[in-house]
Structure 1
């Protein structure tokens, strides 16, 4: 039960911080949508802070074996003041407080990036040492930021495509999709490279034994879901995006917006499944068994 709670908590925190950073970043290149996202950014920052507190208590309790708060408190202090994980936690909380106070696109995206990057210290990279530790952390952080940019953009497009859709909304969608095209290419390239690099850091240049265990099977599912997301992203780029532009000429705004929204919702659902797998994989050893 404790393992399940840990996985669920990790999943919720990952989703929250990925979307917090991604939505704020999206607002930088689609400033027209910022007013809609600002209350959401504050809410996500608050939720992220609460989940972070719960996560710190849970991991400290698991490491110390203590159950009462009085007995747990000294261990919490030690975790905060004497470990890299505690430093990353404090940095995350500071960044989330910044978003709560000033949820503007520029500041929120930078603070969101810091909060999201802090999750790397709860991954497999924390077990490395020396130069390997640095490069593993760098790869993890780039992977997290790219994933956040993608998830945040998908959520933003879903929010913008729902409700009453008129010509002004379609023009905003067309502009946002166009601006995301080159960013999306960078995201896919970054995720592909850092994903492969992280696999080499964690597992090494081998497949045979790894694929026989739970870690390998979950990783294979993650790769398949990622491939499915690439297919949907290509569909959005080469078919649904042009359909939005066409709707400006033929007036079929709702049809084009609904088609884009349905595709992005499926893509976002696949992304959330990947995040759930990542939350699970972070608790496992790559060794078969």
Structure 2
């Protein structure tokens, strides 16, 4: 059951980060708009749906685990007790409501800055709700508040990255040969250079804060001796990959696309980006 709980949580994390980072990317990277981005609303709707489905499945599985009885997950009173009487339940409820409202907005509102702003705001609530049951929530006083704030910022910064990558993948694979759209993509890549670098800085800083609380400076050399330590090393590897991608974008991809536009050969530059 633990593996299923982890899988449900991973689905929620992925959906929430795309739901947050992709519309945010449209706001700071594509202020001029881009045609041929009809994939955006379906992608975000799918992400919101993943959060909804993952939340329900996660609630059922976690309730069964907490009660020590698989049948408890289908008992209305037990489920309501978990939802109304625990931080976990409150987090799931907030997450579900925010994702549901985002899904309605995506169906009812035309694509544009207003929709991206609303979706980003709601997705912020979705991501922040995970911190309600994180390590920081288990601590009291100022230390607990600092740890919880670091958790939230860590999740948001990761969402900036994952959502931007999803948006860039969509833009690069969409059918476009319009010069205006290629120029918009260039502006987006240039914008992501700065925002992505800032996101990495936040991830590093908040990661260090979390490690200080969870590992402690006295045990840093034994970091590989625990499951958490091994997971932290994996995250460090992902961080190195993020740095490499950010550097590649800043020093190669964006300048190459700019050169292609200047030379009147944007298609060749786009092919290189892909």
The two structures have a TM-score, normalised by structure 1, of 0.84
Residue 49 in structure 1 maps to residue 52 in structure 2: yes
CA distance in 1, matches of 2:86, 2:183: 50
Q: Does the aligned pair in 2 maintain the 1:236–1:260 contact within 8 Å?
A: no
CA distance in 1, matches of 2:77, 2:69: 10
Q: CA RMSD in A?
A: 1.9
CA distance in 1, matches of 2:266, 2:209: 43
Instruction: Give the match for residue 25 of structure 1.
Output: 24
| Count of residues in Structure 1 that have an aligned counterpart in Structure 2 | 260
CA distance in 2, matches of 1:141, 1:246: 39
Instruction: Give the match for residue 231 of structure 2.
Output: 218
Instruction: Give the match for residue 96 of structure 2.
Output: 93
Distance 1:176 1:56, change over 3 A: same
Deviations 1:126-165 (A, max 9, x none): 3222222211110000010011011111111111011444
Once the 2 structures are TM-superposed, how far is the Cα of residue 251 of structure 1 from its aligned partner? 3.7
Once the 2 structures are TM-superposed, how far is the Cα of residue 99 of structure 1 from its aligned partner? 0.7
CA distance in 2, matches of 1:246, 1:164: 21
**2:212 aligned residue (190, 200, 204):** 200
Once the 2 structures are TM-superposed, how far is the Cα of residue 240 of structure 1 from its aligned partner? 0.9
CA distance in 2, matches of 1:236, 1:145: 21
Q: Which stretches in structure 2 are left out of the alignment for 5+ residues?
A: 107-114
- Pairing 1:55-66 to 2, within 5 Å after superposition: 55-66=58-69
Instruction: Give the match for residue 232 of structure 1.
Output: 245
Residue 241 in structure 1 maps to residue 254 in structure 2: yes
Residue 109 in structure 1 maps to residue 112 in structure 2: no
Instruction: Give the match for residue 160 of structure 1.
Output: 171
Once the 2 structures are TM-superposed, how far is the Cα of residue 35 of structure 1 from its aligned partner? 5.2
Q: Which stretches in structure 1 are left out of the alignment for 5+ residues?
A: 262-289
Q: Does the aligned pair in 2 maintain the 1:143–1:194 contact within 8 Å?
A: yes
Deviations 1:156-210 (A, max 9, x none): 1111011444233321110111222221222111111001001111111131233
CA distance in 1, matches of 2:135, 2:270: 41
Once the 2 structures are TM-superposed, how far is the Cα of residue 70 of structure 1 from its aligned partner? 7.6
Deviations 1:85-125 (A, max 9, x none): 21121111121122112131111100011111111123222
CA distance in 2, matches of 1:123, 1:55: 15
CA distance in 2, matches of 1:144, 1:187: 10
Residue 3 in structure 1 maps to residue 2 in structure 2: yes
CA distance in 1, matches of 2:148, 2:271: 39
The answer to which of 205-214 and 46-55 deviates more is 205-214
Once the 2 structures are TM-superposed, how far is the Cα of residue 69 of structure 1 from its aligned partner? 5.5
Instruction: Give the match for residue 110 of structure 2.
Output: none
The answer to which of 100-109 and 54-63 deviates more is 100-109
Residue 147 in structure 1 maps to residue 181 in structure 2: no
Once the 2 structures are TM-superposed, how far is the Cα of residue 230 of structure 1 from its aligned partner? 0.3
Q: Does the aligned pair in 2 maintain the 1:160–1:169 contact within 8 Å?
A: no
Q: Does the aligned pair in 2 maintain the 1:24–1:108 contact within 8 Å?
A: yes
DSSP-derived class of the 1:8 partner = helix
Once the 2 structures are TM-superposed, how far is the Cα of residue 42 of structure 1 from its aligned partner? 2.1
CA distance in 2, matches of 1:70, 1:123: 22
Q: Does the aligned pair in 2 maintain the 1:61–1:72 contact within 8 Å?
A: no
Instruction: Give the match for residue 77 of structure 1.
Output: 80
